[in-house]
Structure 1
Amino acid sequence: MKISELEKKSGISAHTLRYYEKAGLLKASQRSANNYREYSQDDLATARFIQACKHSGFSLAETGALLAIKGNKDQHVCAEAKIITHNKIKQISEQIKQLKNMQNTLQKLEKICCGGAESAEFCSIISALEGEQ
């Protein structure tokens, strides 16, 4: 199948499929005589796997590692995929913690501001961000 058909079947744009190819995650099974990419059902499965990784929050590097495990299951152990997943969970947990801290800070800033129509010279949020409060 050509890239346009892979795009339709996978739901991934042709631009993104080409990006995945440049990143080394996806490779067309073959090239036609006129140098068009030709994709197989296995390539479609790989594209869907990459998309599932993306939706799960894995980076391109992590996706590449998971693809390597998927491609050579007999050469890898389940623990490898679990470590990648565990590390992603730790990373996301840290991001959630940082976002909650940001949210708390913003809520405090919002509470100290009257939100009135007076000049921003007296705005508590601006002052707090300037370090005056």
Structure 2
Amino acid sequence: MKTSTPASLAARRLRPVLLALGAAALLSACSVAPVYERPSVDTPAAWKEAAPAAGWVPAAPADHTDRRDWWAPFADTELDGLLRRVAVSNQNVAAAVAAYAQARATLAEQRAGWYPSVSLGAGLTRSGGKARACA
């Protein structure tokens, strides 16, 4: 009668995993794709950025500029109409999100009664006192 030790059982279970990992490692070295050669592209000088004198350009943020009508330079009536609709739709979406959050809060409040509650209280009562005997 054969008896198996826990170590031999673990080795038997690991054998297929190790074989699969070994096969994957060996097959990963096989590549039939041709060696990629990057094509050379001549970029016109007009497409290149002018190099600054010192090689560094400090940031010039324009946070104070008005960006309300950023789409106006495109002079597209369809874009104007879309942005007018978005201004209204954003409020509708915000109202829907608020209604959803309110509904979830109401549901959570109603479900709170399903859970056990724990309360803690403290009190102090003094009764009696010194007994005085009248003589």
TM-score (norm 1): 0.36
Which fold has the larger relative contact order, with Cα–Cα distance below 8 Å and residues 6 or more apart in sequence?
Answer: 1
TM-score (norm 2): 0.36
Higher fraction of helix: 1
